């Protein structure tokens, strides 16, 4: 079945001339090919068993042949070619083995960084300022012209927390004040005032990582947190919107107002126990089930945070780098200059990781937000090339356009399965879309059958499926995905 798309044939021809994934990946496969009766197949399962002898393999989905994977298609150990709309948990920006990216891997700079990894905080390479200036800083969010590079999304958030705590205490004691002897002595025993009783407020169903601080702010699934000691930090309710949005405008406005009121009351109450130094939120609560809220909700929680003296962190680890049809998803909030987040964290599609911030949140002394690597210039070089290709091919606009085609195609498919699929959302967020099944078991069966139909797709939350294609994902991929989804939905 060929899914009819809303875009006219003429518009599609114009789009095809403007950009196609083959412009960047000429040898990308044209369709999925599945050789084995089930996926994962025997070779993939055998390799997982071998790995399991020395490393837990129970989370394996597939064993991948990365040398053979191309563009939007992943090739597994059995030679199955799958259209990938999960992309290493939303971490592949352009596709597998993009020739222009492979060229970077052969450059003298890349090889030098790979073989001589520097301790960036003490021994940066001579090119480091240029590399940041011509790469990561070219896409710095509005108002944030300083950057800290880190190792992953969890450490990006963790170090943003530390920066917020340090800036909060600097503001309390006076920016130029030195540490007291009491602070210096007490902190070595993890006691006040050197180790102050401050907190980070996050939202229910949010995910911010799995290190100690970031895990304390994570609220998506119990299995992530069990048996791990946690900071006693507060969480606020996040709106549970009803879909379709236009049919539930009044109910959703009331739900957001309820959550905003509860959020502010928590900020007020915490002042007498553990004041909130920072608020962190994802523009879409991704791991928790792709939960959305209106731009007005986000504007309000940002302004309320500042009203109560808390720094505001936009966690763009999963939403950043174009997937929502904007380079940064928080651009949709429409914040006025001066109201932008205090910190924006990034990782995943950027390949590099870290956070953007303002100069006034730089620590008052060196070695305070510090570790051996402090990022990786090899990954920063990779990010620079990724950003250059996104700009050259206007891939953020391409993703916004493809997202509209995807939304129309999915709406057409879902209309025939109203008793199975519901809650389609993200139609105005590029290809960053999701939908729900009736039960977790039904969702899991759908994802398993989609692999057999030639599509690698992933779940989130309790019963949701999320779409995380690359920025080169286009109209031909939309048609293949929709056709596979219709086939599998008929089998459920």
pLDDT at residue 6 in the model: 40
Of the pLDDT bands very low, low, confident and very high (cuts 50, 70, 90), residue 175 is confident
β-sheet bridge partners, residue 203: 236
Q: Can you give the pTM of this predicted structure?
A: 0.94
Report whether pLDDT(348) > 90.
yes
Contact 157, 280 (CB under 8 A): yes
Catalytic choice (78, 84, 315, 376): 315
pLDDT digits 0-9 by tens, 373-413: 999 999 999 999 999 999 999 999 999 999 999 999 999 99
Strands, sheet with 458-460, edge to edge from the N-terminal-most edge strand? 421-425, 434-437, 464-466, 458-460
Q: What is the average per-residue pLDDT within 308-326?
A: 98
Question: Is position 203 annotated as part of the catalytic site?
Answer: no
Taking residue 72's Cβ as centre, other Cβ atoms within 10 Å add up to: 27
In a 10 Å sphere around its CB, with 0-12 CB exposed, 13-18 middle and 19+ buried, how is residue 142 labelled?
middle
Parallel, antiparallel, or unpaired for β 81-84 and 455-456? parallel
Nearest to 347, CA basis, from 162, 165, 208, 211: 208
Report whether pLDDT(7) > 60.
no
Q: What phi-psi label fits residue 20: left (phi over 0), alpha (psi between -120 and 50 degrees) or beta?
A: beta
State the Cα–Cα distance between residues 110 and 114, nearest whole angstrom. Answer: 6
Q: What is the average per-residue pLDDT within 16-39?
A: 91
Q: Is the peptide bond before 421 cis (omega within 30 degrees of 0)?
A: no
Greatest Cα pair distance in the chain: 74
Q: What is the mean pLDDT of the chain?
A: 95
CA neighbours closer than 13 Å in the CB half-sphere of residue 208: 31
Catalytic choice (291, 348, 349, 449): 348
Contact 214, 158 (CB under 8 A): yes
Catalytic choice (207, 414, 432, 437): 207
Which residues lie closer than 8 Å to 336 by C-beta, 6 or more apart? none
Return the sign of the alpha-carbon dihedral for residues 473, 475, 478, 479: negative
pLDDT digits 0-9 by tens, 34-84: 999 999 999 999 999 999 999 999 999 999 999 999 999 999 999 999 999
Catalytic choice (30, 372, 438, 439): 372
Question: Is position 372 annotated as part of the catalytic site?
Answer: yes
Of the pLDDT bands very low, low, confident and very high (cuts 50, 70, 90), residue 176 is confident
Dihedral over alpha carbons 385, 428, 3, 415 (to 10 degrees): 150
Question: Which residue blocks in 74-127 are alpha helix, DSSP H?
Answer: 87-90, 99-105, 108-115
Query: For residue 428, what are its two tokens?
Result: 């105005």
Of the pLDDT bands very low, low, confident and very high (cuts 50, 70, 90), residue 20 is very high
Of the pLDDT bands very low, low, confident and very high (cuts 50, 70, 90), residue 338 is very high
β-sheet bridge partners, residue 81: 33, 75
State the Cα–Cα distance between residues 165 and 413, nearest whole angstrom. Answer: 48
Secondary structure (DSSP) of 193-260: TTS---EEEEETT----SSHHHHHH--S-GGGTTT-------EE------SSGGGSHHHHHHHHHHHH
Question: Is position 207 annotated as part of the catalytic site?
Answer: yes
pLDDT digits 0-9 by tens, 363-372: 999 999 999 9
Query: For residue 218, what are its two tokens?
Result: 């994570």
Query: For residue 258, what are its two tokens?
Result: 């309820």
Q: What crossing angle do the helices spanning 440-452 and 475-491 adopt, rounded to 10°?
A: 120
3-state helix, strand, coil in the chain (%, to 5): 40, 15, 45
CA angle 57, 117, 368 (to 5 degrees): 90
pLDDT at residue 177 in the model: 86
Buried b (16+ CB within 10 A) or exposed e, 360-396: ebbbeeeeebeeeebbbbbbbbbbbbbbebbeebebb
State the Cα–Cα distance between residues 13 and 395, nearest whole angstrom. Answer: 17
- E-strand stretches of 76-165: 81-84, 146-150
Of the pLDDT bands very low, low, confident and very high (cuts 50, 70, 90), residue 16 is very low
State the Cα–Cα distance between residues 404 and 74, nearest whole angstrom. Answer: 24
pLDDT at residue 4 in the model: 36
Nearest to 425, CA basis, from 219, 202, 250, 246: 246
State the Cα–Cα distance between residues 20 and 323, nearest whole angstrom. Answer: 16
pLDDT at residue 18 in the model: 75
Residue recorded with tokens 């797709």: 457
State the Cα–Cα distance between residues 85 and 327, nearest whole angstrom. Answer: 19
State the Cα–Cα distance between residues 237 and 260, nearest whole angstrom. Answer: 8
Question: Is position 348 annotated as part of the catalytic site?
Answer: yes
Query: For residue 391, what are its two tokens?
Result: 């700009």
β-sheet bridge partners, residue 315: 345
């Amino acid at each position: 079945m060929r899914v009819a798309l809303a875009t006219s044939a003429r518009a599609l021809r114009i789009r095809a001339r403007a950009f196609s994934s083959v412009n960047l990946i000429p040898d990308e496969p044209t369709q999925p090919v599945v050789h084995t009766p089930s996926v994962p197949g025997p070779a993939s399962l055998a390799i997982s068993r071998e790995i399991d002898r020395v490393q837990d393999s129970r989370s394996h989905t597939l064993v991948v042949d990365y040398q053979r994977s191309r563009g939007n298609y992943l090739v597994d150990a059995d030679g199955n070619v799958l259209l990938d709309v999960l992309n290493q948990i939303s971490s592949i920006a352009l596709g597998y083995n993009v020739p222009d990216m492979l060229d970077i891997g052969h450059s003298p700079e890349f090889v030098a960084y790979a073989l001589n990894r520097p301790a960036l905080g003490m021994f940066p390479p001579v090119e480091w300022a240029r590399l940041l200036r011509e790469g990561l800083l070219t896409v710095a969010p509005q108002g944030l012209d300083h950057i800290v590079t880190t190792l992953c999304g969890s450490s990006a958030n963790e170090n943003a927390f530390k920066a917020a705590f340090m800036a909060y205490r600097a503001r309390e004691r006076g920016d130029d004040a030195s540490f007291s002897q009491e602070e210096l002595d007490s902190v070595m025993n993890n006691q006040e005032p050197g180790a102050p009783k401050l907190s980070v407020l996050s939202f229910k169903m949010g995910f911010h990582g799995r290190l100690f601080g970031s895990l304390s702010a994570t609220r998506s699934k119990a299995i992530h947190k069990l048996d791990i000691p946690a900071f006693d930090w507060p969480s606020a309710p996040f709106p549970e919107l009803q879909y379709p949005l236009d049919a539930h405008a009044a109910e959703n406005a009331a739900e957001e107002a309820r959550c905003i009121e509860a959020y502010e009351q928590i900020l007020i109450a915490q002042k007498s126990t553990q004041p909130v130094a920072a608020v962190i939120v994802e523009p879409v609560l991704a791991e928790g089930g792709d939960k959305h809220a209106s731009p007005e909700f986000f504007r309000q929680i940002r302004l309320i945070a500042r009203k109560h003296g808390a720094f505001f962190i936009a966690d763009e680890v999963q939403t950043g780098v174009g997937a929502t049809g904007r380079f940064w998803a928080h651009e949709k909030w429409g914040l006025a200059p001066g109201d932008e987040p205090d910190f924006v964290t990034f990782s995943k599609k950027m390949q590099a990781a870290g956070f953007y911030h303002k100069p006034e949140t730089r620590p008052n002394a060196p070695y305070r937000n510090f570790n051996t690597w402090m990022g990786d210039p090899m990954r920063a070089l990779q990010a620079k090339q990724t950003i250059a290709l996104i700009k050259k091919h206007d891939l953020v606009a391409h993703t916004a356009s493809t997202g509209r085609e995807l939304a129309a195609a999915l709406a057409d498919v879902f209309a025939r399965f109203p008793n199975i699929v519901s809650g389609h959302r993200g139609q105005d967020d590029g290809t960053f879309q999701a939908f729900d099944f009736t039960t977790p078991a039904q969702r899991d069966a759908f994802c398993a059958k989609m692999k057999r139909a030639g599509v690698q797709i992933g779940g989130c939350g309790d019963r949701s499926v999320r779409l995380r294609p690359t920025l080169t994902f286009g109209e031909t991929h939309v048609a293949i995905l929709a056709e596979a989804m219709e086939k599998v939905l008929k089998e459920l």
